[in-house]
């Protein structure tokens, strides 16, 4: 075992950026616990987060790597001060409160349509700023048949308009099976 692996050190670090109110302390504490490091983290009145972390150099490096792996966190260490820029591009899904009773064309049973939208979103400091690649889907409650919904009808449902989904608004989505 090298000195890098076994020597216990303590670091005091102040983190600047939008790090309060977004789970940064929780993620840091969770990462430290998972690698066997100890310490504490606190919010300071100036909007920064101050922490003291104790462990091997490898454990401390792993904590920062784990916190940086989060969708939104990018840690840059500059002279003992950490600057955090939180952003991310993620997939999103929004379920709509839509209720239309149907007789399913696939299975012949009664059911209803469940409508949802999928999208990509760019978030800065946990605030969704821009959505794109929106697709609207309908899934039946009786046999889980899945359809892509005409985008204009989907937008109307998203706005809360009273809309009836007709067969011409739907395009069947083929199922893909993965055998492992």
Structure confidence by residue, pLDDT tens digits, 33-70? 888 999 888 888 877 778 888 999 888 888 877 776 65
* Parallel, antiparallel or unpaired: strands 49-56 and 38-43: antiparallel
Per-residue model confidence as pLDDT tens digits over 107-121: 999 999 999 998 888
* pLDDT exceeds cutoff 50 at 177: no
Per-residue model confidence as pLDDT tens digits over 6-32: 788 888 887 766 666 667 777 788 788
The residues annotated with a catalytic role in the active site are 25, 43
* pTM for this model (two decimals): 0.52
Name which of 24-33, 69-78, 168-177 the model is least confident about: 69-78
Distance CA 112, CA 108 (A): 12
Please say whether the beta carbons of 120 and 94 come within 8 A: no
């Amino acid at each position: 075992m090298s000195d890098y692996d076994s020597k216990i050190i303590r670091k005091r670090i102040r983190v600047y950026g939008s790090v309060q109110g977004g789970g940064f302390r929780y993620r840091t504490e969770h990462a430290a616990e998972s690698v066997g490091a100890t310490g504490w983290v606190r919010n300071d009145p100036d909007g920064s987060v101050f922490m003291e972390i104790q462990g091997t150099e490898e454990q401390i490096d792993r904590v920062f790597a784990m916190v940086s792996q989060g969708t939104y966190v990018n840690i840059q260490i500059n002279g003992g001060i950490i600057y955090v820029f939180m952003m991310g591009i993620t997939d999103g899904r929004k379920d709509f409160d839509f209720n239309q009773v149907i007789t399913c064309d696939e299975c012949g049973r009664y059911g209803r349509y469940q409508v949802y939208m999928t999208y990509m979103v760019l978030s800065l400091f946990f605030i969704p700023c821009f959505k794109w690649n929106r697709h609207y889907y309908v899934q039946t409650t009786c046999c889980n048949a899945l359809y892509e919904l005409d985008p204009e009808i989907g937008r109307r449902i998203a706005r809360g308009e009273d809309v009836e989904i007709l067969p011409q608004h739907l395009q069947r989505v083929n199922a893909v099976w993965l055998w492992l």
